[in-house]
Each structure stands twice: as C-alpha cells, then as structure tokens.
Structure 1
C-alpha cells in the first residue's frame, strides 16, 4: 500500500493543504481565530515541506538561491503581517505545480526496464563435445559458442558459425522484412531467429552489445538539459536575488532616505515581498499547459509534460521512421506475374498452398494475397523448409522451389519476362520467385505500403513550415521509392539506432528544434535524443515510454494539430507572462509611492492571477 502511495505523496500533500486552507478560511471568515491560524500553519507545513526541503537542499549544495525559497519567504512574510490566507494560497499553488511536475517526471523513467527485457537473461552454451546447457548471459565470455533455436532471441552480439536462417531484425533496424543469415554473418542481441538452428560465436561482451548501447543512448539523452530548462534555471536564480535584495533594501533605506517611520518601512517591505512573489507568473504557465494537455487528450494526443507541448510548436524539422510510421509495417503483394501460357489462378493456388504452411512474413503476405482473391489453399504433404533460402515442395510430378534468386536459379530469374525482376527491385520491392523443373513459373513482388494518412500528414507539416526527413534501415533504392511516395522533403537510408542518433544530432545542430516520430524499440534512442520524441500509439512499450508525445490513435495528421495547439498555448503564455509582470511592476511602484495598502496589493496580485487563469482556460475549447 505504501509503495503505491509514495510516488504520489507530494501531490497528496499539496491537495491536503488545499483542503485545510478552505476549512481554515471558513473557520476564520469573520475574524482570524486560533483554530483558523492553526489550520493555516498545518497547511503551510504539509504543503510547503517538500518544496522547502528541495529549496534548502538546492541552496546548500549549489550555493544558489531559488524560487522555492522565495515562495516560502513570501508566505512567511504574508503571515507576519497577518495575511494567513494569502500566504497559505501561495504555498498551495507552488506545491501543486511542483507535485504535478514530479509525478510526470517519475512516469517517464520506466523505459529502461522495458529495454532490459529485450536482451535474454539465459543462453544455450555449447561445450567441446557439442552438448549445450542453459547459462546466464552475464556469465558468457567472448569466444563462447552458443546454440540458438528457432523462435528464440539472439542472446549476444555474435557471428554465425554454422546454420542458415531468417532473422527478424525489426528491434534493431526497424525493417519489417526478415533478413536471411548464413555462416559468417553478424547477429545482434535482441533480434529473433525465425526458422533455422544456428551455432553462433560471441564476439562482443554483453555490456558492449547494441542493445546495451541503446540503453546508454536513452540514458544519455534524458540526462541532457534542454536550452529552455537551462534558461529557466538561470532566470530563477536572478529573480530570487533581485526580489530578496529589493526587500532587504526596502526594510531600511526608506527610513533613512525618505524619513519613513520604522512601522511604515517594514510594512512596505512586507507588501513588496507579497506583491513581488511569482504567484501570477506560475499561474501564467501551469493552467495554460494543463488546459492544452487536456485539449490534446480529447483529440488523440498524449503529452508527457508541458515542456514537450511548448517545444513542438517551435519545431523546425521532423524526422519520421519508415516502418510502422509512414508505412503499414508489414509487406503486401503489389505485383504477381506468371510464365506465358500459364493460368494465373492455378499458379497462385499452388504457390499459396505451399506458402500457407510457413510462418515467414513474406509467405504469409502471399497467402493473404491469394485468400483476398477467394482462393482456397490445400496442404502440400511433400515440402521442405530450407532456412534462410526458401521452400522446396513436390506438387504432382513436379518439384517446386520458392524463394530468392540464388535458390531458384539466378540466371533464370534475371531472364524471366525480360528482366522484370530487376525493374521491380528498382521500385524498392522485395521479389520472390517460384520455379519448377522447366524454369521460373511466377514472380511476386512485395513492399511495405505507405499509409494513406501519411501523405496527408506530410502535406500539413509542410504547410506549417516543418521540414520532413524519413529515417529508415532500408537500402538506398527502397528508401528513395518510399520517400517519393510519401512526399517527404528528404530521406536517409540504412540507419541503425546509432546512426539515427547521429543524424538526429546533425539535424539538431542545423535546425535547433527537431522532432522524431517512431514506433519501434530501435527508435528509442532517436526519440530520446530529439527535442520532441513522438511515438505511435500502437508502437512498442519502449517507444511509448521514451517518447514525449504519443499519438493515441496512430493518426500522423494529429502532429500538425499538436503544433497548432502548442503555438496557441505559447501565445497565451506570453500574454499571461507580460500581463502578470506588468501588474507586479505597477504594484511595486504603487507600493513605493504608498498609493496602495496591503489589502489592495493582495487584491491586485490575486486578481491578476485569476485573470491569467481565465485566459488560459480558453485552450480547453476543442477547436483551436
């Protein structure tokens, strides 16, 4: 029970202090009583403890004053001159905003535990006699030989010693189509062995694997402070110093310079401490941010914090992952061509019957293509799966081969229909062949199709002045075709997680504010590196946890809505900040010339806060 309450303790304390303030106000409505003052004191202690502790510790460690201390001083100053309600409200507002910020930050720390699940904890270690046993991955050493069975994850970065297979590298490259692997090829930890038995040799320690690098990249990106955060920290220190110095001067100088009596001097200093407190400034940002976040949630957008909502409005460029973001994320048959003189339906029926017994994504796509045409498949009894190459089957008296060109006959595949396979490959498609004893029977071309809404989203982003870049693990030829189809301004091919981060940093140095859209584990480092990471709602847990913004309905067009919402919020925040600073300035000047007393100062100060909040609530309107 305590473990569940502890992460929310600060928020609970802030809300409890608010309840006590309301009760104290009703108790002392006519005149402050001992009971109402006692309730205010309890509200001070409960609501202000966390921020007071944070402010004191920060001051001791960094030897620098902060806004937390200023708020505490302002609240104490209000109480000293008898304004308990105002002091308690200042504590409550600041405590609530701090609690919400802490709660949001704690939620964003779970992606590393999700990343850790990607790398297996155990592996099959082979001894000198070829026998295998389960051992912990952490106990493995470079040079160890391991056995990886079909369906298992590759435990470590390694080299294939024996065996052929298809490996799903979507977790690393983001490519949806499995890659054929054979002896001598490199394997990454966390990828999945689909169909063949592999003997591999570990060539990197688990601490240096690509998965571990992804974890380190996420940690590094999250630890880097944004320019906005650095500006806020600098402004905070200066603001506190100016206010405290001004109050200190106000407590003595007017007595000697203008011959004020000590009562008036101290009274005016206390008024200054109250009216100069940043209550209205705090209200300038938080209500506007919460209203905008609520608006976004109603429109399929989840923001993980106000800073991300603020940043997306000034985004100059956006990088988009290809697979599952711009495209459907799975291959579809785009072309099906048969040998002259043969019946399309008959050939497709036989081919689909062969593929229907395979779990390979390409086989499943061809089977689905046939089923969509109303073809009924039948089991083929005499067939053999050749891992990493294709399928052999005997249909009637003929022997069929289905797979890559080198498996069915390279020269024959080149000559089929005047080299149609090369034309299809130039279009960025994956080509699969079917052959019998007489040569190539048919060819099927497959491609991960661009989502229809992706093109609309790219158009909207361009209209908003955002430069679009596609990042993909595909080769140059495939990447160009997809980029042209989607309509992006630029593309970068053959990207691994490490190179995606490198390209993101280059874009950041060029454009300053860059977004990143992705849905896979391989996108996590880039999402964390970008100014604003945007994840698709149907993406992996790691992508969702690492990202700053989540598209809950997988609608890319919502990104443009987020940009417009952010720009409106930033306009309102600027209006609020200008208004609140102007009011504080007027109140300070009026206090110096003794035009206002403390009640009027409180009314002006709290009244400006109310107006600022009402202006912020305009963001709750669904249409922006």
Structure 2
C-alpha cells in the first residue's frame, strides 16, 4: 500500500473515531483510575499517583478546554471551571481517587450530552446524505452524468426507477410513484404525472420520468429543510437562556460560600482545618448545577429531532415550548381547513337529458377556460366520463358572467344565475338552488338553446382529516376559531362542517390580524394556522405561527412551525410532543434541584463523604440526560 493510500486510510479512521472521542477518553480515564487504585492497594504509591494524574488529564481535557475557552470568551465562570477546581482541590487534600472519579463521571456525563447532540444532528446528516451528487442531464438528444451543483433552471433530467430526485422540478414526461418521506414524513408513495412537482431527496419508485429543473441546488426545498432544522437546533428556548444566565451568578455564589467554608466552620463550629477544607471541597462538588444545566438542552434537541423525523419542522425551542401553553388556535379556511380548490358536489340535469353526455360537452367547453370553477367541471368529467374532450365549433368568453359556445348547431351558455335568467333558476330542480347555496356551494348553470338544462353545485370541500384534527384539539382544551374572507353564509357552512367553535367571515388580511390581537387579549397563548403567503401578517402576530407546508418553500420562511404534509392532525401531535418535552424538563429540573439540596444539607451535617458526593452529583447529571433521550423515541 502506498504512503498516500495509508494517509487516506488513517484520516478515514480518525473521522470515524472523532464522534466517540469523549466516550473513549472517559473509558480510558476509568481504566487508569482502576490501575491507580490497584497500584495504591499493593503499595506502589508513586505509580498510583501517575495513573491518577493521567486519568485527570485524559478524562478532563475536553471539559477543561471547553470551560477555560468559555470563561475566556464570556468573561464568566461556568460549571466546567467548578469541576476543575473541585478535582484539583480533592487531589490537594490527598483524595486522588475521589478527584479522578469526579473527572471520570463528569467526562462520562459530557460524553452522553455530546451523544444526544450528535444523535440530534444525525437527523440532518442522514438528510444530507439523501441528496444525490449526480444527475442524468438530457441535452441535444444525449444523456450525460453531471454534478447536481452544475444543474441550471430549465435543464431537463432523466430520473429512473429507484433513483433519488436530484433537484426540485416539474415532470414533463412520464408517470410514477414518488416516496416523499424525506420531505413530508409520510410513508405512503404519491402518484405523480405530467406537470406535477417533484422535490430533491425524494425517491422515484416505479416509472422513468423526465423532469425540468425549477430551482438551483442551493434553493431546493430539501436544502431549506436542512438549514431550518440546523438553525432550530442552535436556537435556545427561554428556559435554556434563563438557566445559562443563572449559571454565571450561581457559580460565583458557590465559590464565595466555598471560600467562607474554609474558615467559618473552624472558628464558629470548632471544626479542624482539615475537616473545614474537606467539607468545602465536597460543597464545591455537590453545589455545582451540572444536572440543572443539562436539564433542558438535550430534551429540546431530542424533541426537535423527533418532530423533524415526522414532518413537523420547528424553528426553535421557544416555539416548541410555547405550543404546550396554547389556549386558542385560529385557522385560515382556504387551503387549511379546506382543500383550497372547488370540487363538484352535485349535478342536476333536466329530466329527459342524458347526464353523462351533457357533462362531457360542458367540460369540453370549459376546458378552454382557466377559471377554477371551469377546471372543477373538467376534473369531474375526466374522473367520471371515459371520453376524450373535444373542441366546440365556436367559443366566446363573457368576463364576469360565463361562457357562450356552439356545439353541433346548439347554442350553449354556462355561467352564473343572472347569465341564464334568475326566474328559471328558482324553479329548477324543485328549488334546490337556495338550499345548496346556504350550504356554501357555488352554483353554475347550463343553458342550451335558451332552455335551462343543468345545475352544477361546487364548493371548496373540507379536508377529510379536518374534523378529526379539530376534535383532537378540543379534547386538549383548545378553543378553535376560523378566519376567512368568504361570505357569512359560506363561512357558517364550513364552520359547521369542520367542527370549529366559532368563525369570523369577510376578513381581509389586516382584519385577520385584528382578530388575532383580540384573541391574544382573551387567551394567554394563541396560534395561527395558514398557508404561509396571504396569511403571513396573521402568522407573524400570533404567539405561534403554523404553516401548512405542502411542499412550498414560502411556508418555511413565514411560520414558526411547518407541517411538511398538509396534515392537520400533526398539530395535535406537535402539541403532545411539546407537552412531553416540558414534562421531562420539569422532571429534570425538580430532580436536579432536590439532589443538590439533599447533598448540600448532608455535607453541612457532616454525613456525606467525598466519594458519595461525587457519585450523587454526577450520577444525577447522567440520569437527567438519559431521561431527555426518551424524547428521541416516537
């Protein structure tokens, strides 16, 4: 093997060992402590001290370096410095074994905390590994493998079955099933055909597809998710910030009390100088707030990682912490509670006419319009009628009213009631128009040769999962409100169907903001759920802004929390995750404070020896970290 190959192999091994360096150092420290104890037992005192010194250096190097650097940078003493002082003090009074054990357990708890962070960051690493490095570019009729970083907007790429999508784009040829678990957290593949969007990092399951690139490699939704979770992991919650501010003051107080304990018990309580110094060293160990400091960050990181794995992206611990305090939640209607596009709900055809034939001709006429209602009729026809649409003989668009057309000599009019004559509409289909309208339907009428022949009812239907999601939130004691720009009549129908507690209709964006302000006055913590674009002002004013992602990068930029799949029940899931996180943090804080108080009291009454103080204090730190790791589980 060449020297160059050996060098590469060596670098590879170092990279593999690096994440476990703290754990390895702690293990070596433990072995050296055992060696030191054996040397001491068999009368080799000098060798024993050397072994203990090595245990100090190897086990304590990482934490000592971290503590000294942080103290220099922030000009503030920290927990790590307290541990260094305690270990050195123990050695000075001859307790080499106890000092070394202190370093060992402190190193072990530090390794566990690093493991938690690495486990959390592994979610990002595994995401980054999902994006391919190369793409199959189609240019001038030829296929060529190129780095993904060289792809330009407008390039055409071929993606074969089993390959990952290298860049965001639109399918221009082919049909397939796409596994979007990396983006949405949803395990079921999604069927996609021409003009459907695909996202980098997802998996092409079945057919070959040709995709036109719509975004550069740096701007893909996949990259934005990675950046979002990375920034979320670095952002600290209010609890964490409080603990960090409290830490500096607490360390100073502990050092002052320890200094006083060197002298006062000797003069006031008659303790010997040795006993005073010994008790001061124990106080230095047990009063350090290591467990308290480790109570929050590992739990927050674990919860954020858990959410990311299930398609719930949280932009920081502060937002996740706030979720558990929600008292009210406001929803935009269109695209949030509803699907966002009108769908045909009912079709009434005059007696004697063939329904299928009439809808086929109407859809052929409407296929020339981009109006959402026209497209809903076309979609309905394609789903229910297996016939190719045709071109009418003539076509005239009447803006604001509807469309006129001629088909095989017949004169067609499709549009609103006033376009075909209101007096005919009121009598058609036994007067059903009024009832359908009151249920939030928009009505389109079809007239042939001056005679009203059909009525099509359409509405933006409530999502299948909306009722379930709202009912879950109600069970959690949260008030649900719908804010919409639609009319009172439509809003009332959708509110009843979706089970929300109350609604406000005809709201412009600025009026939604006012409603949010009023809700915040009435309730302590309020969330807003919207699509991330027209609801941006309301999302910003809410205590927690939640965007329905649906694969849009706009949503990533506007809200505090993003549901990568338009799945409303995930809100309830996110709230439960927040409640679990806050419960575990509370457990950690209460447990760590109780242990510190018990150890301090026991030391003052001379009931605690240094070895037990070390084990009690550092053991509590390990336990709170292990408790936090429970949040990584689903």
What is the CA–CA distance in structure 2 between the aligned matches of 1:413 and 1:461, rounded to whole Å? 41
What is the CA–CA distance in structure 1 between the aligned matches of 2:263 and 2:115, rounded to whole Å? 34
What do the CA deviations read for 1:330-353 (whole angstroms, capped 9, x no partner)? 210112233565443332121111
Cα gap change, 1:603/1:42 in structure 2, threshold over 3 Å: closer, same or farther? closer
The answer to whether the aligner puts 1:279 opposite 2:290 as a matched pair is yes
Deviation at 1:502, TM superposition (A): 3.2
What is the CA–CA distance in structure 1 between the aligned matches of 2:260 and 2:20, rounded to whole Å? 36
Cα gap change, 1:536/1:80 in structure 2, threshold over 3 Å: closer, same or farther? same
What is the CA–CA distance in structure 2 between the aligned matches of 1:354 and 1:89, rounded to whole Å? 75
**Would the aligned equivalents of 1:17 and 1:47 in 2 still touch at CA under 8 Å?**
no
Q: Which residue of 2 aligns with 1:583?
A: 595
Q: Match for 2:35 among 8, 30, 39? A: 30
The answer to whether the aligner puts 1:55 opposite 2:67 as a matched pair is no
What is the CA–CA distance in structure 1 between the aligned matches of 2:619 and 2:613, rounded to whole Å? 10
Q: Match for 2:258 among 247, 251, 260? A: 247
Deviation at 1:370, TM superposition (A): 1.6
The residue correspondences of 1:208-607 to structure 2 (distance < 5 A) are 239-240=250-251, 242-290=253-301, 292-293=303-304, 296=307, 301-339=312-350, 342-376=353-387, 377-386=389-398, 389-405=401-417, 420-538=432-550, 540-607=552-619
The answer to whether the aligner puts 1:77 opposite 2:85 as a matched pair is yes
The unaligned stretches of length 5 or more in structure 2 are 1-16, 37-50, 92-98, 126-234
Cα gap change, 1:228/1:33 in structure 2, threshold over 3 Å: closer, same or farther? closer
What is the CA–CA distance in structure 1 between the aligned matches of 2:535 and 2:257, rounded to whole Å? 50
What do the CA deviations read for 1:519-554 (whole angstroms, capped 9, x no partner)? 332334434443333343525223245444444554
- Dislocated runs of 4+, deviation >6 Å: 12-15, 97-104, 224-227
Range with greater deviation from structure 2 (427-436 or 16-25)? 16-25
The residue correspondences of 1:87-98 to structure 2 (distance < 5 A) are 89=107, 92=110, 96=114
Deviation at 1:233, TM superposition (A): 7.0
Deviation at 1:413, TM superposition (A): 5.3
Cα gap change, 1:226/1:473 in structure 2, threshold over 3 Å: closer, same or farther? farther
TM-score normalised by L of structure 2: 0.65
Cα gap change, 1:476/1:15 in structure 2, threshold over 3 Å: closer, same or farther? farther
**Would the aligned equivalents of 2:237 and 2:318 in 1 still touch at CA under 8 Å?**
no
What is the CA–CA distance in structure 2 between the aligned matches of 1:477 and 1:93, rounded to whole Å? 61
CA RMSD of aligned residues (A): 4.1
What is the CA–CA distance in structure 2 between the aligned matches of 1:576 and 1:229, rounded to whole Å? 13
**Would the aligned equivalents of 2:555 and 2:562 in 1 still touch at CA under 8 Å?**
no
Deviation at 1:445, TM superposition (A): 2.0
What is the CA–CA distance in structure 2 between the aligned matches of 1:253 and 1:550, rounded to whole Å? 58
Deviation at 1:354, TM superposition (A): 0.7
Deviation at 1:252, TM superposition (A): 4.0
**Would the aligned equivalents of 2:237 and 2:317 in 1 still touch at CA under 8 Å?**
no
**Would the aligned equivalents of 1:312 and 1:563 in 2 still touch at CA under 8 Å?**
yes
Deviation at 1:488, TM superposition (A): 0.8
Deviation at 1:316, TM superposition (A): 1.9
Deviation at 1:306, TM superposition (A): 4.3
Count of aligned positions: 483
Cα gap change, 1:392/1:305 in structure 2, threshold over 3 Å: closer, same or farther? same
